[in-house]
Amino acid sequence: MADSRETVNHHAFVVGFPIRHSRSPLIHGHWLKTLGIAGTYEKIEVAPEDFAGFVANLKSGALGLCGGNVTIPHKESAYRLADATDALTDELGAANTLWLEDGRLKATNTDGIGFLANLDDRRPGWDRAAKRAIVLGAGGASRAVIQALRERGFREIHVVNRSLDRALELADRFGPRVHGHRMDACAEVMQGADFFVNTTSLGMAGSPAPALPFSTLAPNAVVTDIVYVPLKTDFLAQAERVGLATVDGLGMLLHQAVPGFEKWFGQRPVVDQSLRDLIIADLKEHP
């Protein structure tokens, strides 16, 4: 039976604290318009102490919403409060996508999907060697990246972080192919590596980032950054100066949004140049 606009809930959200700078409404609004879907996608700011109540109201149907995205600082709480999760989300202990199905709140995490899809789109074959990857940072954003790289088949994943304990904690969580190091070991582990990703806020909004020996990476190495403001971060500029291929972080934001949109609105959207241009224009106007 075909869906009826009167019986299908096409109202979704992104929730966080703060939430005013989120580009998710712009992304999903573009797809709703392009695909001709009579739906809505709104920003909702919820303080941490109020998040459990928000989820309870979502589950009850009182909010009139079918699901949505979850961003900082609610991802771990969203995972704990969901009725059903998948294996990927269970390992991460964090969820960024929620939807109501058969009266239950289900959860998954699409950050790793978005991370890989961006690289596959912008630099096909980036993982051909899949030997050694360097992950800078051991915060929440690094978990999905490490998991994605492990599942893509990298033999060694070296997590470099200011706090060794945090890096070792991730090595324990994600298995024997993952190794933790202090920041002062970065130059050593970068030698001959095939892939480098920054998962920290270093370089965000044009702030300075430390100089790293990108010239010691393998000649065919790829360097990426999950920071996308600015599009060309200091780390990407350093890598380009020594002739390495780079991928900006904007595509991760765009591609991670695809599975959620399909869950809530019933059609799979496409990440194309028109969407990139739309978000880039907004970033220039509201950096």
The per-residue pLDDT of the chain, averaged, comes to 95
Low-confidence ranges of the chain (pLDDT < 70): 1-8
- Per the CB < 8 A criterion, the answer to whether 85 and 107 are in contact is yes
- Per the CB < 8 A criterion, the answer to whether 186 and 210 are in contact is no
Residue 51 token pair: 């998040």
pLDDT value of position 8:
67
Q: Which residue has the tokens 């102490």?
A: 49
pLDDT value of position 4:
35
pLDDT value of position 3:
40
pLDDT value of position 101:
95
Give the residue ranges of DSSP H helices in 132-269: 140-152, 164-174, 186-190, 234-241, 250-265
pLDDT value of position 161:
97
Question: pLDDT tens for residues 200-216?
Answer: 999 998 788 999 999 99
Task: Give the C-alpha separation, 115 to 112, whole Å.
Answer: 5
DSSP state at residue 100: E
Annotated active-site positions, please?
Answer: 75
Q: In degrees rounded to 5, what are phi and psi of residue 204?
A: -65, 140
Question: pLDDT tens for residues 65-84?
Answer: 999 999 999 999 999 999 99
